[in-house]
Amino acid sequence: MSYGGWKPYVSVADRRRKAEKAAAKATKGGAALTPIAPYRGAVARTFWGKAWCDNLERYSDYANRLPRGRTYLRNGSVIDLKITAGRVQAQVVGSSLYRVDVTVVAVPDPHWQAICADCANSIDSLVELLQGRLSNAVMERICKPGTGLFPAPAGMKFTCSCPDWAQMCKHVAAVLYGVGARLDHQPELLFRLRQVDAEALVAHADAGLSRAKGGPAAGKVLDDAALADVFGIEMAELAPAIAPAIAPAKRKSRSRETPAAALPSKPAKAAARRTLAVPGKASSR
């Protein structure tokens, strides 16, 4: 077949059968595949995944090929997709089985440091850091078009073994959308792809919190129940350690105020109770 030639159209059902057959053959041969399972609806559902897909659709360079890529992804044509440092490797079933390779440039260090500094100002509390959660403000900064972690077209290069002459063929488009679908479940892969250390976010935020002055606002102070939920601390466990120190002081104070000699004897107490309980009975007799 000459360069730029086209193979006959393959229906969605036939392509899905071919994808399943190719995946089974590769698995039988010992390959460890990480496919994007067929599904309906939106490509991505989480903030991370949607933001990645939105970023792709912002660039006119990709406009003509993206719709076909979404179709290929949804019908299960991406039988393998692996994200590593600066690279995405995938296998896509079309008229044949094609191999796609996407390389992504690393984020320049000044760019990453700027992101970390901005995110540090968005950390709401130390508890948020200890729980390993990223607030909406941090996520929005990381996914910000142009200055976040998502690459621009100039920062990516594609290759596909198919005969399509276009820079981005439908198989490449399917893989790029597949990255968004994968980020739904593994958002940490974005840091790996852009070759940055996610722990730097925590380091910058921790330094910012250490420099903060003044006490926390009333609404941000955790009560005992919240501490137990977050850190697994049972506050009641502290009571036995405190009780012995307090009890002797109380007994000593009482003995000073009321000497033992001044207290009524047990017979006197009993007689008093009888007199109070049955007033006037002795005189009636």
Q: 51-90 pLDDT, tens per residue?
A: 999 999 888 777 778 898 999 999 999 999 999 999 999 9
Number of residues in the chain: 285
Instruction: Please report whether residue 71 resides in a domain.
Output: yes
Instruction: Please report whether residue 271 resides in a domain.
Output: no
The pLDDT, as a whole number, for residue 145 is 86
Beta bridge partners of 103: 87, 157
The dihedral through the CA atoms of 91, 93, 98, 100 has a sign that is negative
When pLDDT is averaged across residues 259-274 and rounded to a whole number, the result is 52
Buried b (16+ CB within 10 A) or exposed e, 221-256: eeeeeeeeeeeeeeeeeeeeeeeeeeeeeeeeeeee
Domain of residue 133, residue span = 12-221
The pLDDT, as a whole number, for residue 255 is 46
Instruction: Please report whether residue 259 resides in a domain.
Output: no
Q: What is the pTM of this model?
A: 0.66
When pLDDT is averaged across residues 189-212 and rounded to a whole number, the result is 75
The residues, any chain, with a CB within 8 Å of residue 53's CB and separated by 6 or more, are 43, 44, 177, 180
Instruction: Please report whether residue 5 resides in a domain.
Output: no
Q: Please state which of the ranges 67-71, 113-117, 220-224 shows the lowest mean pLDDT.
A: 220-224
pLDDT at 228 over 80: no
In angstroms, the Cα distances linking 86 to 38, 102, 155 are 26, 8, 10
Instruction: Please report whether residue 148 resides in a domain.
Output: yes
Instruction: Please report whether residue 238 resides in a domain.
Output: no
Which amino acid is residue 284, in one-letter code? S
Residue 232 — very low, low, confident or very high, per pLDDT cuts 50/70/90?
very low
Burial level of 113, CB count in 10 A (0-12/13-18/19+)? middle
How far apart are alpha carbons 230 and 238 in whole angstroms? 18
In the sheet that holds 156-160, the strands lie side by side as 78-84, 87-93, 97-104, 156-160
Instruction: Please report whether residue 251 resides in a domain.
Output: no
Instruction: Please report whether residue 167 resides in a domain.
Output: yes
How many distinct structural domains can be found in the chain?
A: 1
Q: Please state which of the ranges 45-49, 57-61, 79-83, 209-213 shows the lowest mean pLDDT.
A: 209-213
Task: List the one residue out of 12, 207, 193 whose CA is nearest residue 113.
Answer: 207
The pLDDT, as a whole number, for residue 188 is 85
